[in-house]
Amino acid sequence: MKEILTFDQLPTAVTMLTQEISELKQLLLNKSRQHPTEQPEQLLTVQDTAVFLSLSVPTIYSKVSKGELPVMKRSKRLYFSRKELLEYVKGGRQQTNAEIESEANLYLKK
């Protein structure tokens, strides 16, 4: 059976609850700092990769056979890491004229 609080006991009970909530909050904050939430690596199928890169499925197979796309193979299935595909796409980024000029100036200074 639950204990019934009297009006005189309310301030003490509220103080205890406030302290316990503060302790719980501190524990949760410490735990979130220790273990930042990391999303597990997302693996894509050939069809998912085609949609992700806006390419056709045959183009994906062609790029895999040429070694242009980072791929993992398990038995007869191909899997692609979303993270590696993003790096692949970013790797094709062309430098701006300002970036090229800055790089050239740094090289000439050496």
- Indicate whether 99 belongs to any domain: no
Determine the pLDDT at residue 37.
Answer: 59
Q: Indicate whether 96 belongs to any domain.
A: no
What is the distance between the alpha carbons of residues 49 and 84, in angstroms, rounded to a whole number?
A: 11
Residue 78, domain member (yes or no): yes
> What is the rounded distance in angstroms from the CA atom of residue 59 to the CA atom of residue 80?
14
- Asked whether residue 60 is assigned to any structural domain, the reply reads yes
Looking at residue 1, what is its pLDDT? 56
How high is the pLDDT of residue 82? 92
Please, what are the averages of pLDDT over each run of 10 residues along the chain (110 residues)? 81 92 90 68 92 95 92 92 90 83 88
- How many domains does one find in the chain? 1
- pLDDT confidence of residue 51: 95
- Predicted pLDDT at 96: 86
Write down the pTM of the prediction.
0.54
What residue numbers bound the domain in which 79 lies?
43-91
The CATH number assigned to the domain holding 78 equals 1.10.10
Amino acid at 67: G
DSSP for 19-42 reads HHHHHHHHHHHHHHHHS---PPPP
Token pair in block for residue 60: 């994906």
